Structure 1
Amino acid sequence: MYTATLLTSPEARNLEAALVENLRNAWGGGEAVWLSPDEAAEFSLGAMPDNRWDVWADLQGLGVDLVVQKTAGRVKQMLLADMDSTMIQQECIDELADEAGVGERVKDITARAMNGELDFEGALRERVGLMKGLDAGVIEKVLATRITLMPGGRELLATMRGAGAYAALVSGGFTAFTAKVAAELGFDENRANTLNIAEGQLDGTVGEPILGREAKVAALEEISARLGLEHADVMAVGDGANDLGMLGLAGAGVALHAKPSVAAECEIRINHGDLSALLFIQGYARSEFKQA
């Protein structure tokens, strides 16, 4: 059996009952279950529809996300999440670069790296090098004034952990940021890169080895093995090319507001919903969401 989930932005809440019923009838699905009025609904299917991606493309123009997945095992026991532009709304390195006066140059490199056009490790070294001499105190300033959490993140962590799931934040960004974000959201652990500091200033280098695509895959393998879980028990979420390895290995790999080249390689693509979408696709109703 399969489950089709339709959802929209919590702000827009423009999921129409007629649209859900029309698709359910066209696909011969079971009775629609509303997980949140005007926001998210699901119905069962006996087989994967042949025209799933054609329908998905049509719904994108209406501001609606569509996910079709196997019903069995869709409730996951582990969350593995990227941080930048996933659990938070910014790219930390871009915010630091703005403070260093090299924002536009770094943002261009970041965008190309996340789209898979540049080698991640080399791009990170280059960007960090451009910030050599920046006062290390700026990190706290950026955390306090520039970083905002992605909507739905608190509920995602509280609900999954409340159901017994383990949560790990694994970022190609920096430990100075992941430590704070992980503590604020309630992650069980976090992994990231280290900005090297000398005499109170960034020295233009990053700790080696760099945590990139392969390190995120390794984190999924290591943590799931430690917990006695299968890869199928894991939900991974990210938006960049360096996330593709873990997204492909996880039982549910979610491309959240991802670069087109990244989304194209993922079975679960959320372009309109926020992090609460990761609960809807597991079958949680909004009334079941836990608050941090």
Structure 2
Amino acid sequence: MTLVATLIANERRPAITDAVLAEARAVLATDHQPRILHGEVAAELLVPGDAAAAPALARRLRAAFAAEPIDVAVLPGGRHRRKRLFLADMDSTMIEQECIDELADTIGLRARVSAITERAMRGEIAFEPALRERVALLRDLPLDTIDALIRERITRTPGGRILVQTLKAHGAHTCLVSGGFTLFTGPIAAMIGFDEAHATTLGVRDGRLTGTVEEPIVGKETKRATLIALRSRLGLDPAETLAVGDGANDLDMLGEAGLGVAFRAKPKVAAAARVQIEHGDLTALLYLQGYAASEFVD
């Protein structure tokens, strides 16, 4: 088996220089020449070895470039490298905000709600009761507040639309799956171009939030179950699946995916995921699959 070592920087801070690539070749003890995926932003090297050797090689690369703004991954090559099913978390992954915190901010409760959000995403408290507690504080909030938030405050994470559009152009099915709310995922999934979206439904009456959520809440079990159901529906091998997220409620989904990526994630999630992206934007997930920037679609 041949492994592929991928080095990724951010387009705003290119760092994959000739010197970096020479050092990577030495660390990996490979004679293969690097394949440049995008200038000084991303490159990959072939490394002889089997899957069991990948974690140790990745640790060596991280140690070598610990002081550099470079993400590294060592993954198997082969026919399932390019994925055919992609599932993504929404808040702090495909968008840069936590929607419930933004809602709370409109009524002066951001600090209180965001503290609960942070603990839930770190896995310090259970997700479902934490969500109910936060939603209860939003009772009587007008629905048009959500439209204004999406329009004025929500920003897409750089690279997200290119990621989804490129995967779709190459035959992948894409799904946004969020512990957040359908009132957000519907418009946001459409903006980015996802094929479908799954999220929690907020209670609504007379144009206002009731402070309740409808069951089931999309927690970690539901996210994993959604991946399994879509994989089965599409007749895919587990290795053909890709998932990305940042919070503790994403862990089961990331673990079930053929490739689970922790994106600027909480420490517990980063420690458990196969790949961690801290410096690159969401196009990093394309480089991990061997896509060159010249293949990107937007």
Give TM class, smaller chain: over 0.9
Q: Is the 8 A contact 1:78 1:234 kept in 2?
A: yes
Aligned to 2:35: 33
CA distance in 2, matches of 1:80, 1:96: 25
The answer as to 2:201 corresponding to 1:199 is no
Aligned to 1:82: 89
What whole-Å deviation, never above 9, does each CA across 1:105-139 have from its counterpart, x for those lacking one?
A: 00000001000001000000000011112112101
Q: Is the 8 A contact 2:85 2:240 kept in 1?
A: yes
Q: Is the 8 A contact 2:246 2:266 kept in 1?
A: yes
Q: Is the 8 A contact 1:102 1:131 kept in 2?
A: no
What whole-Å deviation, never above 9, does each CA across 1:15-73 have from its counterpart, x for those lacking one?
A: 22211111112312211011011100100011235353143144242110001000112
The answer as to 2:236 corresponding to 1:235 is no
Aligned to 1:8: 9
Q: TM-score, normalised by structure 1?
A: 0.97
Q: Which amino acid aligns with 1:71?
A: G
Q: 1:149, CA displacement in angstroms?
A: 0.5
Q: Is the 8 A contact 2:166 2:296 kept in 1?
A: yes
CA distance in 2, matches of 1:80, 1:133: 32
Q: 1:157, CA displacement in angstroms?
A: 1.0
CA distance in 1, matches of 2:24, 2:63: 14
Q: Is the 8 A contact 1:240 1:262 kept in 2?
A: yes
Task: Select the residue among 38, 47, 51 that pairs with 1:45.
Answer: 47
RMSD (Å) for aligned C-alpha atoms: 1.1
CA distance in 2, matches of 1:68, 1:55: 9
Q: Is the 8 A contact 2:182 2:198 kept in 1?
A: yes
Is the partner of 2:120 in helix, strand or coil?
Answer: helix
CA distance in 2, matches of 1:66, 1:266: 13
CA distance in 2, matches of 1:58, 1:209: 45
Runs (5+) with no aligned partner, structure 1: none
CA distance in 2, matches of 1:92, 1:199: 22
* Aligned ranges 1:83-102 → 2 under 5 Å: 83-102=90-109
Aligned to 2:67: 61
| Structure 1 segments (4+ residues) deviating >3 Å | none
Q: Is the 8 A contact 1:235 1:252 kept in 2?
A: yes
Runs (5+) with no aligned partner, structure 2: none
Aligned to 1:22: 23
Is the partner of 1:190 in helix, strand or coil?
Answer: strand
What whole-Å deviation, never above 9, does each CA across 1:234-267 have from its counterpart, x for those lacking one?
A: 0000000000001001000000000111100011
Aligned to 1:157: 164
Q: Is the 8 A contact 2:57 2:74 kept in 1?
A: no
CA distance in 2, matches of 1:118, 1:57: 32
Is the partner of 1:34 in helix, strand or coil?
Answer: strand
Task: Select the residue among 189, 202, 205 that pairs with 2:196.
Answer: 189
Aligned to 1:169: 176
CA distance in 2, matches of 1:58, 1:140: 46
Q: 1:224, CA displacement in angstroms?
A: 0.8
Q: Is the 8 A contact 2:27 2:60 kept in 1?
A: no
